[in-house]
Structure 1
């Protein structure tokens, strides 16, 4: 029967995942996330660059093709190297948007199934209860929120696999084989979602310390297995870790304000936007942005989980789970308590951690992601303990039905211009020459990075671009920032794109533009007929006028406006 149960849960997981990503399924190349197309463009670029690195023998973790002339340290970005390398044939065959969609759908389905598998095989839940808990974990509000283009945070299927190996070590299984598997899983998780690995390690450490103090189990096998895992992980991660902590273009912290990206205490009791409750307008907007609804469980579920803790409290592991969940809930609230969108001035313990290395690179709100699997396990155990009492069915229905997910919202996006897809650009640029898309690509206007991603995946050679969407140095107090510190011309053109206002341009503006183009070693400047924005619609006519005022009349080539830059 386990095989039949596994098949049914896998089918349900895949069906729900396809439902959530259905907005992309209709046309992967022509659809983009409505609320997070910038991150989608970044992950598609990373997938395409991985294919380029495989076929050209390039460094998969550092590139000078983006952010000319300084380059980008991908080890300090969400480089998803395992995905980009392993799936490079698929990317070269069908394109990065299709690979992106397959990974996103797989992440959701695999996460749900992996938690079901862990709950059923290792944590004593019946198949039905484990399915209930696993499906909740895989499609929890935070997972649906991060499904708005986050291929890293939705890849939580690795976490239950890591936990299973640790459990095997505690149970006295062969420490060497399980240690080696654990090390490989840790390396893979670091490659795909380093922040999630850090949170998982913290949660496992908190629970393990409690468990060892409470039960005093023999831990020699665990320590030997962890040592083997550390050796394997170090072998795979030596270069990535060096780049991360000592390589060029590194940074510390994130540059994001932890008082903004902390969880609102009230958010634990309200419903998320993309859910049945949200569809009924019962949701509350308490997240810093639509991709960060990291708790949003709703009061009925919170009450049900509290009841589960009370009824199951005699079990030692439940006490450990309560400690772990409580700690992460408190830390997710950031350095200052926020309630219903207002800062209260009340100091919170996370303030002690926010300046520490590694901790300062984590957004406090995301610590709430640890809580959902704990709640999922409690729901599974509670279901098993009360399954013969039909009076509990309405309680589970009231808690879970409002959280049923809706498809993530998508919108149309312009195709990559024919000038790029046809390879016509190669007639105007030397090998690895620099093209400056207008406006300069970043998280708000990512088109130029999408053009480069197409060339990575489908053409024999590529071009370099200034700027780009990535994390690098240049933030306050040595922290990171999105993209490079902008040069005057980049700032000018982004302002024109956003406002539609073309200022009076002087000789000094034109001189600075020439200086910036020389700094980037630009050979041609390109402007498409339509410019996509991640959060607002760029004004293409204003961009055409401003660029013409700066550089002179353009040439119409294929479906683009082109300015050739003569070296000074």
Structure 2
């Protein structure tokens, strides 16, 4: 059964990501291209770290001339470095697809191990619960280009070690193991680590209350184990955390809007869009975006779990602690203001007084909903185990057990995942792949894409990651410091030329070029230390942008290798 479960999880992960395999290195996740390109970038960065061509926690390749604090931007070195051979041979897009498959399947397999060890003796019940943990709605939603969130295979082991903290006489060993797991998870996803720590704290507190005073003797070993884990983790993470919070290009909090992402009250009973029962129009108002449908559990599953708890499971302290944990995190997930059916209510969210605290100010509240999947998975496993103990037939000859199993199956069918929506992207221009760019971008200069690289226009990042070229470029998609001290923004604060090119690329009418615009361009090019402006022939408004840049630079660009390039070295060079 263990082997069958593992194979089933792997095949399901391949099915969910099938579009990424069909189009290979040019496959793009339709719902979230920007984040996919970012993870291609950091996977390539992981390869460069392994080969000694880059430092781990900072990059100067992006956002010239300032660079980017990658430790504060989900650098995923714990995933990128192990996958470096795949990146080197097949490129970061294949690494990205491999990471999604291994993350989804590995998470389900790890929860299967945990559920068999701690929750149920039934392999079938554990497999069903683990499948919900690994392929539930929130995980499939996060598979839209958030591989750091689908790679939760360390979480069950962290929870396992947390449950062992009260073992007498093993505080040193357990503390060291827990501390090392904390370090490993920090290099996969720090936010998942934070949620796991909070969830374990809530669960252990609720379980201790439900079983007190039997847990009194565990207080000392729990504190000792936690102290050792803190020492081990703190020692190994001291420099990375300093780099993240106090190093160059560090920041506090989240960009405007991100901290307001909360779960709609109606989302808990709804089906996610990438599920058999999903409907895009029905859920559009219930989630911040397609990658954050973290609380969509569906009313049939909630109803079945409620029946199981009320009928068979309520007396168990484990179940009451799980319900308490789920309730707390459901309230956290709703954020600072409660919404219902897309409408703002008068009710403040439980997260409002907590969201300004250190560390918690960097949390996206709706992601607390992902904690509900392990809670629901454990309850589902217990419910299926309880069904297995029912009599085959009632006194009236009704097939009680079969009917109960059928009810569970019917509750899960609408949540069966569908493949990610993908499409075939455009190839990297020959100008980049053949190295022609080197003739235009000498050492110490940058390659400036038109429009400048951002979350909406990702050419600079995409070309760099896919091609292995070693140019530097301004702009990019990342979180960095804003203009105000202590603030955060997506990308760098925009410059005049940046705003102009982006507006025209997105449909605005090209303005008549003035001397002031040319002066602004020259100032921006000098700030960026530009060597060349490069416009892809595949850019939707390439003709309009080409004429605009011709006028700004006051010379015609050169068409070569799938791009138009303007040598701006003479404009950037200081006047004699």
Under a length normalisation based on structure 2, what TM-score does the superposition of the two structures give? 0.93
Q: 1:292 to 1:542 in 2, by over 3 A?
A: same
- Measured after TM superposition, the shift of residue 313 of structure 1 is 1.1
For residues 258 and 36 of structure 1, the distance between their equivalents in structure 2, rounded to whole angstroms, comes to 15
Asked if residue 446 in structure 1 is aligned to residue 458 in structure 2, the reply is yes
Question: 1:317 is matched with which residue?
Answer: 318
Aligned partners of 1:137 and 1:376 also within 8 Å = yes
Alignment partner of 1:530 out of 538, 541, 544? 538
What SS does the corresponding residue of 1:156 show, helix, strand or coil?
coil
What SS does the corresponding residue of 1:431 show, helix, strand or coil?
coil
- Measured after TM superposition, the shift of residue 477 of structure 1 is 7.1
The 5 A counterparts of 1:63-462 are 63-172=59-168, 174-215=170-211, 216-217=214-215, 218-257=218-257, 260-278=260-278, 285-310=285-310, 311-387=312-388, 388=390, 389-431=401-443, 433-455=445-467, 458=468, 462=470
Q: 1:172 to 1:121 in 2, by over 3 A?
A: farther
- Measured after TM superposition, the shift of residue 270 of structure 1 is 0.6
Unmatched tracts of structure 1, length 5 or more: 532-537
Q: 1:284 to 1:523 in 2, by over 3 A?
A: closer
State the 4+ residue runs in structure 1 displaced beyond 4 angstroms.
279-285
Q: Give me the CA root mean square deviation.
A: 1.8
For residues 90 and 259 of structure 2, the distance between their equivalents in structure 1, rounded to whole angstroms, comes to 42
Aligned partners of 2:444 and 2:529 also within 8 Å = no
Larger Rg: 2
For residues 374 and 315 of structure 1, the distance between their equivalents in structure 2, rounded to whole angstroms, comes to 14
Q: 1:204 to 1:498 in 2, by over 3 A?
A: same
Deviation string, structure 1 residues 382-438 (Cα, Å, up to 9, x no partner): 110112422212221221000000000001111111111122222222235311011
The 5 A counterparts of 1:488-503 are 488-499=496-507, 501-503=509-511
Deviation string, structure 1 residues 38-91 (Cα, Å, up to 9, x no partner): 100000000101212222342110122211111111111111011122222221
What SS does the corresponding residue of 2:243 show, helix, strand or coil?
helix
What SS does the corresponding residue of 2:145 show, helix, strand or coil?
coil
What SS does the corresponding residue of 2:244 show, helix, strand or coil?
helix
- Measured after TM superposition, the shift of residue 225 of structure 1 is 2.6
Deviation string, structure 1 residues 422-465 (Cα, Å, up to 9, x no partner): 2222222223531101111111111111112235xx45xx1111
- Measured after TM superposition, the shift of residue 34 of structure 1 is 0.4
Question: 1:471 is matched with which residue?
Answer: 479
Question: 1:32 is matched with which residue?
Answer: 28
- Measured after TM superposition, the shift of residue 232 of structure 1 is 2.4
Deviation string, structure 1 residues 95-144 (Cα, Å, up to 9, x no partner): 10011110011101011111111000222341110000000110110101
What SS does the corresponding residue of 1:134 show, helix, strand or coil?
helix
For residues 96 and 502 of structure 2, the distance between their equivalents in structure 1, rounded to whole angstroms, comes to 27
For residues 166 and 226 of structure 2, the distance between their equivalents in structure 1, rounded to whole angstroms, comes to 11
Deviation string, structure 1 residues 143-175 (Cα, Å, up to 9, x no partner): 011100101111111111111122233345843
Q: 1:282 to 1:493 in 2, by over 3 A?
A: closer
Unmatched tracts of structure 2, length 5 or more: 391-400
Aligned partners of 1:500 and 1:542 also within 8 Å = no
Deviates more, 1:337-346 or 1:420-429: 420-429
Deviates more, 1:341-350 or 1:134-143: 341-350
For residues 233 and 307 of structure 1, the distance between their equivalents in structure 2, rounded to whole angstroms, comes to 42
- Measured after TM superposition, the shift of residue 329 of structure 1 is 0.7
Give the aligned length.
Answer: 554
